Structure 1
């Protein structure tokens, strides 16, 4: 059976390691580690606010990273994310 990644796992695969996700969202470097676990307001792996999601989307868009709003809400199948990371960068975008 195919593995389904949570929104934070998608961000880790497409954007940066977990310790860089917090600062991208305007938080401390260790903050995003907590998002791996459930809280009273969200499920494990969910991004805690729309503001943080918008920051992640803006960061990704500025760098040509194929992150979508659906990824931040629903997560994605692991195979989809692997395909996105294997795809060449869009024309005009430099690979980092």
Structure 2
């Protein structure tokens, strides 16, 4: 397991699991599964630009600490786990 999360993995930790992520932003339900693999124009774990914009808007609307840098570069696992713990202390304590 890597200490650096891809943008998709960041979104899975901060927003929703892969199976729900696409639907939250108006994509087909299984859209996020395609983002695991790379394409000719993006790396594995990167998302299309329109999805990034929609994810940022969803995060801002719901008080989720997702940043544009997270969507471009991903983030260290420790940073994201700290954000999750800060946002949901009771949920993290139960784990």
* TM-score, length basis structure 2: 0.85
| Misfit runs of 4+, over 4 Å | none
- How many residue pairs were aligned? 87
Where 2:27 maps in the other structure, the secondary structure is coil
- Pairwise mapping of residues 1-96 of structure 1 onto structure 2 (< 5 A)? 3-49=3-49, 51-88=50-87
Deviation by residue 1:51-70 (Cα, 9 ceiling, x = unmatched): 21111011111111100000
**Counterparts of 2:17 and 2:59 in 1: how far apart (Å)?**
14
Query: Which structure shows the higher helix fraction?
Result: 2
Where 1:27 maps in the other structure, the secondary structure is coil
**Offset at 1:25?**
2.8
Deviation by residue 1:48-91 (Cα, 9 ceiling, x = unmatched): 12x211110111111111000000000000000000001147xx
* TM-score, length basis structure 1: 0.84
Where 1:36 maps in the other structure, the secondary structure is coil
